Amino acid sequence: MNAPATKVTPISGFPELLPAERLLELHFIDVIREVFELHGFAPLETRAVEPVERLLGKGGDADKEIYGISRLAGDDSGKDAALGLHFDLTVPFARYVLENAGRLAFPFRRYQIQKVWRGERPQEGRFREFTQADIDVVDVGELAPHFEAEMPLVIAEAFRRLPVGEFRIQVNNRKVPEGFYLGIGLSDVVGTLRIVDRLARFGADKVTAMLLESGATEEQARQVLALASISSTDLSFVDAVRALGVQHPTLDEGLDALAAVIAVGMEQAPGVLVADLQIARGLDYYTGTVYETQLVGSESWGSVCSGGRYDSLATDGRTTYPGVGISIGLSRLVHLLVTKRGLTATRSTPAAVLVAVVDEETREASRRVAAALRGRGIPCEVAPSAAKFGKQIRYADRRGIPFVWFPGAGEGVDQVKDIRSGEQVDADAQTWQCPPEDLHPAVVTP
Amino acid sequence: MNAPATKVTPISGFPELLPAERLLELHFIDVIREVFELHGFAPLETRAVEPVERLLGKGGDADKEIYGISRLAGDDSGKDAALGLHFDLTVPFARYVLENAGRLAFPFRRYQIQKVWRGERPQEGRFREFTQADIDVVDVGELAPHFEAEMPLVIAEAFRRLPVGEFRIQVNNRKVPEGFYLGIGLSDVVGTLRIVDRLARFGADKVTAMLLESGATEEQARQVLALASISSTDLSFVDAVRALGVQHPTLDEGLDALAAVIAVGMEQAPGVLVADLQIARGLDYYTGTVYETQLVGSESWGSVCSGGRYDSLATDGRTTYPGVGISIGLSRLVHLLVTKRGLTATRSTPAAVLVAVVDEETREASRRVAAALRGRGIPCEVAPSAAKFGKQIRYADRRGIPFVWFPGAGEGVDQVKDIRSGEQVDADAQTWQCPPEDLHPAVVTP
């Protein structure tokens, strides 16, 4: 039963973290989860797979390549629908709502922190397997607009508790460009949005060329770019759009909705929400408000948290469940903070204390010390062998464990050593206070 | 962009939980994770996929059917190795250790709580997608035997903090049956183990018939069953085996190792560890100590936590990393406790308080109350609409939210109502104490 000695190599696009990095990622997840729960979002986990036909046509084709799954040994063909791994958490959530509508209370608020898979070409910070952290609210038939302001403000609260620095959540409403394009005589709204979505990446000249190529006149292209250039952290964007002189009822509707979101943001988190009229969210299923998020100083990373309102994603043909949600690209965010900003965890294990073993005969005494510390919530390990104390201290040091505990072993009193300062003091496992900042690994910036 | 009105039906073997059930499962995960971290296991997450060739031959063929994955749009053929979803967390962990050996500190302790996939026929409590919670320790070259006693005792500590009732962790050492079978002249050890593994399911008569069919004599079959019938929570199993009169050096080795594990268990958790000589763990990669776990009174559920020692799973041909680990079948455990024992959560949302909205004009006042409560760690929601208070109370009641907060809205003082007792009192969001037992959803047994 020996394993074959095949060479072990990473799989491109399927990154894995070292223990200290995973501790850092878990810290992010814990903070995000705490904020989501403080806001009354219920936890949910959906299966990893959906029928392929449900994934197709919702952005899950050209943009977000689907992984199909099949039993290697079995013959599933014909019996069941073909299955694929989900590429986001919104499409599965919409399906879950339809499937469980009779057992859920609406409006239904849920959060979901899970892996998703996309067969895209792997790039820096773009993976084939990654974790997203989503919140959504859905209701039956109608969804109150105040939820559209709430979503980004919950994210702002989570981000303020995380070492991500300054950030901006850009908000747009698809009805603004839609009404504007129709108002200037461009009827291919989706095609135009798709081109404008590339503005940040390709720049104005390239996008102008693409617009002209798609059939727009020079004046139309100029107007499209003029609209996309508007942004403000207050309500001045409304006048700036009006000044372009375009009229359309859908444009009015979009401006009103966007102004309502920004107004709430100005009250609750001044400067965090930005009306940014070039945000479009590509080929997705959004129908109204859309969000993207930039870390200030790291705009080249692209959006680390995106979402929007979707009015017709969850429908069984009779009843529609409109929703709004936002999703943190967690793996991407953590990867970039670790590799570009040097974020790290203070140690590679949860253990705050290593209990030394004097000799194998007294291992049980060391274990009792550890049990006493654990009973008081202090994570610890017992040394793996009764090696020389110098070696046991090196064991702790290599993992960043700050304290080594020396059991008195029958005769003397116990002592604990802070291996960073070298300070060693008498201690009792029933009463010793671990400094709060050392109890759990912390995330530190360089 | 309307979604197709396809019928939404569950996928057999891919269960999903309702929000209250997921809160219950998360409580289990939180408790398990806390105990794992108290014992200094570092968190790890491996990718969901492995090269298919690494999954094959490690129990991942006949027993645990593999799901292959492939990009629907792409042409992966030829370029990369075929990929499959992992069927457990041990095989990926062994591969991770080989891949990162130079960056890990040994002995390396890690925990991992993740989904796995098996294409087996779905049955009650047997799923195609489920979550496992694993701990393992690996070392380089040699692994100290005391870790074999530690693994089940960590699980015992986690289970004692969970509403699972009484439980027994059955321990065996594969060298005991191996040496015993060789000692009575049965050379097909794996084949015999595989038959004995079915004892609990098929009974002694059927297993005897299978042994005879496999070429054993009646005396050999009698001895095999005699060994399998031995169990004890103390060291008396050693004499019981000796009384069968079989001699073999591997048997001696196995009995010594098993006695060492049980002796530590007798000291630290009397009655929890049982030497049970019929435990075999089927076709797996275990080479020494093996574990299974039964909930007392629910033995028909089968094992809810299993594992063992593996000496040659992680090897690159030059260096071997022997390990020992144990894995809680979390989805299975939670499913059975919910459906068979009626475990449930006290509410379907983390929110402890619903802040009522007097009218849409004062929504911001309600939001400020919610922000103050959240700032003090009290999860809450703001009512979705300024409906009549009776309707807002029903909103809370349907979700099991215990408190409704009525903002004074300019004139009067705020009040909070316990909707279970009907008691309503004056309150201040800066000072109100939420009863600790109501702060978070609790798991309750009927």
Are A338 and A379 within one domain? Answer: no
Residue B388 belongs to a domain:
yes
Name which of B17, B28, B38 to mutate to probe chain A: the one with the most chain A Cβ atoms within 10 A of its Cβ. Answer: B38
Name which of A38, A41, A360 to mutate to probe chain B: the one with the most chain B Cβ atoms within 10 A of its Cβ. Answer: A38
B236-252 per-position pLDDT tens digit: 999 999 999 999 999 99
Among A120-134, A155-169, A220-234, A358-372, which is the least confidently predicted range?
A120-134
* Pairing verdict, β A443-444 and A344-345: antiparallel
Name the pTM for this structure: 0.95
Are A72 and A39 within one domain? Answer: yes
Q: How far apart are CA A366 and CA A280, in angstroms?
A: 60
Mean pLDDT over the full length of chain A: 93
Q: How far apart are CA B5 and CA A419, in angstroms?
A: 64
Q: Where are the beta strands (DSSP E) in B268-402?
A: 273-276, 289-295, 305-310, 323-329, 344-345, 353-355, 380-382
Say yes or no to pLDDT of A288 above 60: yes
CATH code at position A391: 3.40.50.800
A336-387 per-position pLDDT tens digit: 999 999 999 999 999 999 999 999 999 999 999 999 999 999 999 999 999 9
Strand partners for A415: A406, A426
Residue A291 belongs to a domain:
no
Q: How far apart are CA A288 and CA A390, in angstroms?
A: 64
Are B379 and B307 within one domain? Answer: no
Q: How far apart are CA B36 and CA B56, in angstroms?
A: 30
Of the pLDDT bands very low, low, confident and very high (cuts 50, 70, 90), residue B122 is confident
Q: CB distance from B9 to chain A under 8 Å?
A: yes
Are B253 and B294 within one domain? Answer: no
Q: CB–CB of B385 and A110 under 8 A? A: no
Whether B78 and B96 have beta carbons less than 8 Å apart is answered as no
Q: CB distance from B179 to chain A under 8 Å?
A: no
Of the pLDDT bands very low, low, confident and very high (cuts 50, 70, 90), residue B124 is confident
- Chain B residues within an 8 Å CB radius of A384: 107, 139, 144, 147
Q: How far apart are CA B369 and CA B382, in angstroms?
A: 9
Q: CB distance from A377 to chain B under 8 Å?
A: yes
Nearest alpha-carbon partner for B351 in B306, B313, B387, B397 = B397
Q: CB distance from A65 to chain B under 8 Å?
A: yes
Nearest alpha-carbon partner for A14 in A138, A167, A128 = A128
Give the pLDDT score at B2: 44
Are A394 and A412 within one domain? Answer: yes
Whether B116 and B134 have beta carbons less than 8 Å apart is answered as no
Q: Which domain holds residue B359?
A: 353-440
Are B87 and B127 within one domain? Answer: yes
Name which of A31, A33, A47 to mutate to probe chain B: the one with the most chain B Cβ atoms within 10 A of its Cβ. Answer: A47
Q: How far apart are CA A247 and CA A180, in angstroms?
A: 7
Name which of A30, A37, A121, A319 to mutate to probe chain B: the one with the most chain B Cβ atoms within 10 A of its Cβ. Answer: A37
B31-B34-B40-B45 Cα dihedral, nearest 10 degrees: 80
Nearest alpha-carbon partner for A40 in B19, B23, B351 = B351
| Residues found in chain B | 446
Are B288 and B258 within one domain? Answer: no
Residue of B nearest to A318 (CA): B5
Are B61 and B201 within one domain? Answer: no
Q: Which of A345, A376, A397 finishes a domain?
A: A345
Give the pLDDT score at A120: 85
Q: Which residues 101-140 of chain A have a CB within 8 Å of chain B?
A: 103-105, 107, 109-110, 115, 117, 119, 129, 139
Give the pLDDT score at B200: 83
DSSP category for residue B3: P
Are A48 and A97 within one domain? Answer: yes
Q: How far apart are CA A177 and CA A225, in angstroms?
A: 11
Q: Which residues 14-33 of chain A have a CB within 8 Å of chain B?
A: 14-19, 22-23, 25-26
Give the pLDDT score at B317: 86
Give the pLDDT score at A8: 86
Mark A326-345 as b/e (b = at least 16 C-beta within 10 Å). Answer: bbbbbbbbbbbbbeebebbb
Residue corresponding to tokens 């966007």: A258
Q: Which of B318, B345, B372 finishes a domain?
A: B345
Q: How far apart are CA A263 and CA B342, in angstroms?
A: 47
Whether A441 and A23 have beta carbons less than 8 Å apart is answered as yes
Say yes or no to pLDDT of A405 above 90: yes
Residue B411 belongs to a domain:
yes
- Chain A residues within an 8 Å CB radius of B57: 4
Sign of CA dihedral B249, B182, B294, B304: positive
Are B228 and B329 within one domain? Answer: no
Q: How far apart are CA A426 and CA A417, in angstroms?
A: 9
Q: Which residues 400-419 of chain A have a CB within 8 Å of chain B?
A: none
CATH code at position B119: 3.30.930.10
Q: CB–CB of B48 and A129 under 8 A? A: yes
> Among the residues of A6-131, which ranges form H helices?
19-38, 52-55, 90-100
Whether A244 and A137 have beta carbons less than 8 Å apart is answered as no
Count up the domains in chain B and report the number: 3
Give the pLDDT score at B238: 98
Q: CB–CB of A2 and B312 under 8 A? A: yes
Among A76-80, A355-359, B203-207, which is the least confidently predicted range?
A76-80
Phi, psi of B271 (to 5 degrees): 85, -10
- Across the interface, of A47, A72, A377, the residue whose CB is closest to B68 is A72
Q: Where are the beta strands (DSSP E) in B316-399?
A: 323-329, 344-345, 353-355, 380-382
Q: CB–CB of A109 and B381 under 8 A? A: yes
Q: CB–CB of A5 and B315 under 8 A? A: yes
Residue corresponding to tokens 């839609």: A178
Give the pLDDT score at B63: 58
Q: CB–CB of A71 and B72 under 8 A? A: no
Give the pLDDT score at B229: 95
Q: Where are the beta strands (DSSP E) in A67-207?
A: 67-71, 83-85, 108-117, 129-138, 167-173
Are A368 and A421 within one domain? Answer: yes
Residue B170 belongs to a domain:
no
Residue B5 belongs to a domain:
no
Q: Percentage of chain B with pLDDT > 90?
A: 83
Q: How far apart are CA A55 and CA A64, in angstroms?
A: 10
Residue B133 belongs to a domain:
yes
Q: How far apart are CA A235 and CA A255, in angstroms?
A: 10
Q: Which of A297, A320, A345 finishes a domain?
A: A345
Among A86-90, A247-251, B66-70, B76-80, which is the least confidently predicted range?
B76-80
SS3 category, B43: strand
Residue corresponding to tokens 């201040």: B428
Say yes or no to pLDDT of A283 above 80: no
Averaged pLDDT for residues A107-116 = 98
Amino acid at B437: E
Are B20 and B129 within one domain? Answer: yes
Q: Which residues 243-262 of chain B have a CB within 8 Å of chain A?
A: none
Residue B256 belongs to a domain:
yes
Averaged pLDDT for residues B342-371 = 96
Give the pLDDT score at B1: 40
Name which of A17, A49, A67, A439 to mutate to probe chain B: the one with the most chain B Cβ atoms within 10 A of its Cβ. Answer: A67
Q: How far apart are CA A383 and CA A406, in angstroms?
A: 11
Give the pLDDT score at A265: 95
Q: CB distance from A1 to chain B under 8 Å?
A: yes
Q: How far apart are CA A175 and CA A122, in angstroms?
A: 33
**Phi-psi domain of B121 (left: phi exceeds 0; alpha: psi -120 through 50; beta: other):** beta
A24-69 per-position pLDDT tens digit: 999 999 999 999 999 999 999 999 999 998 898 765 555 578 999 9
Q: CB distance from B287 to chain A under 8 Å?
A: yes
Residue B3 belongs to a domain:
no
Averaged pLDDT for residues B199-218 = 94
Whether A98 and B8 have beta carbons less than 8 Å apart is answered as yes
- Chain B residues within an 8 Å CB radius of A367: 268
Among B187-201, B235-249, B351-365, which is the least confidently predicted range?
B187-201
Residue of B nearest to A76 (CA): B119
- Chain A residues within an 8 Å CB radius of B6: 51, 53-54
List strands edge to edge, sheet with A129-138: A42-43, A108-117, A129-138, A323-329, A305-310, A289-295, A167-173, A273-276, A231-232
| Strand (E) or helix (H) holding B114 | strand B108-117
Q: CB distance from A161 to chain B under 8 Å?
A: no
